[in-house]
Structure 1
Amino acid sequence: MERKTFFTVQGKPFYSLGIQTHNSSSSTPEYLQYSWNAAKKIEANTVAVPVSWELFEPREGAFREAFVTDIISQARENNLKLILLWFGTWKNGTMEYTPSWVKKDTERFPRAELKDGRKTHNLSPHCPENLEADRKAFCRLLEVVKRFDQEFNTVIGVQIENEAGMHSATRRDFSKFGDKAFKENVPERLITYCKENPSCYLAKEWLRQGEKSNGNWTEVFGAAGGEWVTTWAVAAYIDEIARAGKEIYDIFLYTNAWLNEGRGLAGVDWPSGTPRQNNLDIYYAVCTHLDNIAPDIYLQEVTGYLDVLKTYSHPEKGFPLYVPESSRSVFNSGMMFEGIGDYGSIGYHIFGGESLLTDDQKELNTEEGISMKHSFHMIRNVVPVLPEYTGTDRIHGIHRRGIEPSALIEGLLGGWRAYVSFEGTMDQFYRMDFLHKEACWEETLGNKGEPCRGLLLQESENVFYVVGHKFRIYFLQEEEADGSLSAVTVSGKNFSTNAEYLSVTEGHFDETGRYFPDVVRTGDETRHGTYAQWDSNVLRIELMKI
């Protein structure tokens, strides 16, 4: 089957903008009401909900199908799409969501072991019996989803496991199953991958160890082989579940990653074998049935966050960026625009959306809640057309990362350049419409409060769409070929007269992607830079060169 590179609804691409519920939210229908409420308050279109193995198959062979269909029905009633999170063999690097009948029978379902022989809170990823039990339950889950929902497409994707791997103070399994795998030769598929991708992280270690064509994990990869034998096993385990699931229902399937952190100790600072940055090549080599390998991003600093976006954005390999979990922080309410605009994300979710509401679950009046709601509102306004622009050079993220006063977007069609001011007008004439008097004043406050952020979409050579908050945008013509500088280029006060604005409107897209103007901007509302505020809806700007 061909790998899916977008979520779809009724065969059409669908941009998933959502929240992930807290881990226990799906345990009762009453608890889930808070999740649906939070999603609607923040203007999400999707909710990611756990389906734990222990609740779905509490006794071997006895499946609680109604547990799943009730979740789907509730999502439908709330007009929300759904992603199901299969908490099977792994949840955050342990087996805590496996059924009690699996936990109790350590002979039939062997645990991974430490070097001293102690059993861990992890099933061995090398044992076929463990895989078979998980695969059987997962396939039953997809049978239920297909039978109950194929016609409606409420469920748009399923996550296989959650941050899989062994978070058990060991890099590998020392049980008889793990020892056998560790002593075996590295699979030929990985050697071939290294030869075909000599600049990748995996190949660099292979080259450093002498480019061996065969050998065990230590001989081929040195000390890194300890984690990589686990990575191979976990990746193959997940991909086999995906393969079996796809035969039942060809829906978007992915797994998620716990990222590098801390002191750099696999099994301690992250689950050994998780698809973190340094393990990603093995997943690319092994996972031929998964549709996506997605990072969970909780970083609160720019450099590391951008590195993750770059590392997990590989549309050329069939793996575009998808962020299934991210922080609900004010910081992330800005960074997500870079993921969408510059790294081609096909979906963005934040974790624990219920926590953005006040204690009575009625309002989004926390600082985090308000900032994230504004971001979701802006993104939701362009969701009908996002699939058309995603991954192209016609979409650009706008985000003030620090104290920089402006940003310049170059290389636009028609030779245009977009100058984005984060500190108000270039002529110091602060003017918006009468609905944004306070926003005018806030332009003088620097980078306090919510981040300046948004998206710029270019429909054609002279037509642009903008959604954003706390910035003004000016369009500059391309520089003269003879090396001269025009007055409007030299003086920022003249930026707004550098182009002929045929029209500037505030409007909206319908579900088909057709744009409808609601407000026409002229006069004071245009000649001091086109201002973007979160409630300005979609700005359409049509230009003409002069």
Structure 2
Amino acid sequence: MIRGKCARGVMAGIALVWLASAGTLGARELPAFKRNGETTQLHLDGRPVVLISGELHNSSASSPAYMAPIWDKLARNGVRTVIGTASWELVEPEEGRFNFAEVDDQIRQARQRNQRLVMIWFGAYKNAESTYAPSWVRRDEQRFPRAVRDPAFKAMGMAAFLKFNPALSAFGKNLASADARAFAALMRHIRQVDREQTVIMVQVENEVGLLADSRDRSAPATAAWEAPVPAELTAYLERRRDALKPHLLQLWGRGGFRTSGTWREVFGDDRAAHEVFMAWGFSRYVDEVAKAGAREYPLPMFANAWLGPQARAPEPGDYPSGGPVARMMDVWKAGAPSLALLAPDIYIDDFAGTLADFQRDDNPVFIPEAKPEAGNLFLALGQYRAVGFSPFGIEDVPEGSELFQAYRALNTMVPEIVAAQASGTIRAIRLTADGSQRVDLGGYTIAFQAAPPTAGAFGPGTGSAAQAPSPGYALILQVAADEFVIVGRNVAPRFELPGQQVELDTTVEGSFAEGRWVPGRTLNGDERWSLFPTDSLRTVRFRLLRRPAP
């Protein structure tokens, strides 16, 4: 156990901390988000990357013995970045007494396998609850007041089941200070022990917000609700009025776009207005915690969102009110400027629509939690230029799965993917069960449909009893004039050009290795009828021949 007492007062700025840490870490550049061509990318060791990663179950990393066999499985299956956890209850089981054993084990195990880590700080909030806060915090309700909910609130969805779980008030100043001190101790420890920069990003808290009411009604929250709206927020809204999300613009506009007054006067007094108030409260809370950690070790930090509104959770409080959902992004950008991005946890069917809501110039797309669907990985990287994709519960994904096949294929071409993201020469499609899709790239329209059934399409050992193939998906890169590389499964592409007849000149199966194309078989004849099998991924390089249409 390590005894620690966080220093009081204002600490040195981030720049000075970096100068100090540079002497410890050498001259290595810290991970950072940088603009590169048409997009913003995560740079590690001075180079842009994408994170083809996976998130552990919440409690897995609390036991090194439980995790021992999992590390090799993840490394064997191409999971090069693991999202692990550090929980406040284990890091600071007694106030001022710190234990980093589980954190150190994650760093050690990942480093041995040349993996990187994204660390989640389960502080006072995890899934809109406070179950990961230490017992000494939850027991002291005088010092750390609980959020108060209206007992008459009719909650829908998961909120109806979670309404009796502990939720601390984000408006209690003691809580933010204690959480920030513990997080600062964690980041200081990581800086000291992780000289190889195994940890590359940190998520601050997890799916914050309030369930089972749209507004915290505790005494400190009510005092904040009745106070004037902070000038930082109204000034931000003024600056971005023409770019605000329609929902927020409408809420602000119904009161006449006031720039002063109480929350009720500026935004109203209904669930929608309460969500704005809670978003400001939670964003300021997370920013205070994040800044305390960044003063110790300024890795990129982000917050994640439990999505809403949803069909079964249509109102704030049915989903966590005040969380960094898409329609509250502007409030969060104003309230938590120290965060590099706001990230969606996506378990709903509308994966593409969610990414479209979160993609903006000041918010690189990163998916820290999702279902383990390979098609969504392709869509994220190719269509929305995501910096990473991480299915939740990655240790449960079976060996040889479709997802791990995709990881192995895409890991070999990360330099090509990031270069194509920067130049805008990348696209992706994911077909519906009976649909088709078209994309424009390099002057061509590429029409995709499901691969036609052919003899042996399901591979050896299968037959009529074989399970139907999953809907197709593909990643498309333009690599030269009239040349494309497609990584796909269960798709049939057709290249079109107005006024031209387009033929396949050559189709070569292959792969990438250390930044170069390694050709395999040249596919021709009837093999061109099914270039992308229904049961496995294939990478094919196309060279096209265009002729005037007859």
Query: What is the TM-score when the length of structure 1 is the normalising length?
Result: 0.83
Q: What is the aligned counterpart of 1:290 among 316, 336, 339?
A: 339
Q: What is the aligned counterpart of 2:390 among 349, 353, 367?
A: 349
What is the rounded CA distance, in whole Å, between the counterparts of 1:373 and 1:58 in structure 2? 37
- The Cα offsets for residues 131-160 of structure 1, whole Å up to 9 and x where unpaired, read as 1111111111111211222x4221121110
Cα distance change of structure 1 residues 409 and 115 upon mapping to structure 2, 3 Å threshold: closer
SS of 1:499's partner is strand
Q: What is the aligned counterpart of 1:504 among 478, 483, 507?
A: 507
1:409 aligns with 2:439: yes
Contact 2:226 2:262 in 1 (8 A): yes
Contact 2:359 2:384 in 1 (8 A): yes
- The Cα offsets for residues 68-103 of structure 1, whole Å up to 9 and x where unpaired, read as 122100111233211111000100001100111111
Cα distance change of structure 1 residues 132 and 339 upon mapping to structure 2, 3 Å threshold: same
In the TM superposition, structure 1's runs of 4+ consecutive aligned residues that sit over 4 Å from their partners are 1-5, 115-120, 439-447, 532-537
1:231 aligns with 2:263: no
Map of 1:164 onto structure 2: 208
1:450 aligns with 2:431: no
Q: What is the aligned counterpart of 1:327 among 351, 371, 376?
A: 371
Superposition deviation, residue 253 in structure 1: 0.8
Which stretch of the first structure deviates more once superposed, 455-464 or 342-351? 455-464
Cα distance change of structure 1 residues 213 and 352 upon mapping to structure 2, 3 Å threshold: same
Q: What is the aligned counterpart of 1:126 among 154, 171, 174?
A: 171
Amino acid at match of 1:394: T
What is the rounded CA distance, in whole Å, between the counterparts of 2:225 and 2:164 in structure 1? 18
Pairing 1:184-333 to 2, within 5 Å after superposition: 184-195=227-238, 196-198=240-242, 199-200=244-245, 201-222=247-268, 223=270, 224-260=272-308, 261=310, 262-267=312-317, 269-299=318-348, 301=349, 304-314=350-360, 316=361, 318-328=362-372, 332-333=373-374
Amino acid at match of 1:474: R
Q: What is the aligned counterpart of 1:176 among 207, 214, 219?
A: 219
1:470 aligns with 2:516: no
Structure 2: which 5+ runs fail to align?
A: 1-13, 15-31, 35-39, 153-162
1:141 aligns with 2:186: yes
What is the rounded CA distance, in whole Å, between the counterparts of 2:358 and 2:495 in structure 1? 32
Map of 1:396 onto structure 2: 427
1:424 aligns with 2:452: yes
Contact 1:313 1:320 in 2 (8 A): yes
Superposition deviation, residue 543 in structure 1: 3.0
Superposition deviation, residue 51 in structure 1: 0.7
What is the rounded CA distance, in whole Å, between the counterparts of 1:396 and 1:18 in structure 2? 20
Contact 1:473 1:531 in 2 (8 A): no
Amino acid at match of 2:169: S
Contact 1:334 1:452 in 2 (8 A): yes
Amino acid at match of 1:79: N
Map of 1:491 onto structure 2: none
Query: What is the TM-score when the length of structure 2 is the normalising length?
Result: 0.83
What is the rounded CA distance, in whole Å, between the counterparts of 1:456 and 1:443 in structure 2? 30
Cα distance change of structure 1 residues 71 and 535 upon mapping to structure 2, 3 Å threshold: same
- The Cα offsets for residues 145-203 of structure 1, whole Å up to 9 and x where unpaired, read as 11222x42211211100001222x22222222111100111122322333322452212
SS of 1:94's partner is coil
Superposition deviation, residue 534 in structure 1: 7.0
Superposition deviation, residue 342 in structure 1: 1.1
Contact 2:52 2:79 in 1 (8 A): yes
Contact 2:459 2:535 in 1 (8 A): no
Map of 1:85 onto structure 2: 120
SS of 1:244's partner is helix
Superposition deviation, residue 48 in structure 1: 0.8
Contact 2:42 2:49 in 1 (8 A): yes
What is the rounded CA distance, in whole Å, between the counterparts of 1:535 and 1:152 in structure 2? 36
Cα distance change of structure 1 residues 449 and 438 upon mapping to structure 2, 3 Å threshold: closer
Count how many residue pairs are aligned between Structure 1 and Structure 2.
495
- The Cα offsets for residues 377-434 of structure 1, whole Å up to 9 and x where unpaired, read as 3433432322222265311112111302x43322x22x22323231328xxxx58xxx
Cα distance change of structure 1 residues 233 and 325 upon mapping to structure 2, 3 Å threshold: same
Contact 1:382 1:538 in 2 (8 A): no
Cα distance change of structure 1 residues 385 and 145 upon mapping to structure 2, 3 Å threshold: farther
What is the rounded CA distance, in whole Å, between the counterparts of 2:404 and 2:430 in structure 1? 16
Q: Percent sequence identity over matched residues? A: 30
Superposition deviation, residue 31 in structure 1: 1.1
Pairing 1:472-491 to 2, within 5 Å after superposition: 472-476=492-496, 478-480=497-499, 488=501
SS of 1:84's partner is strand
What is the rounded CA distance, in whole Å, between the counterparts of 1:43 and 1:265 in structure 2? 39
What is the rounded CA distance, in whole Å, between the counterparts of 1:479 and 1:288 in structure 2? 47
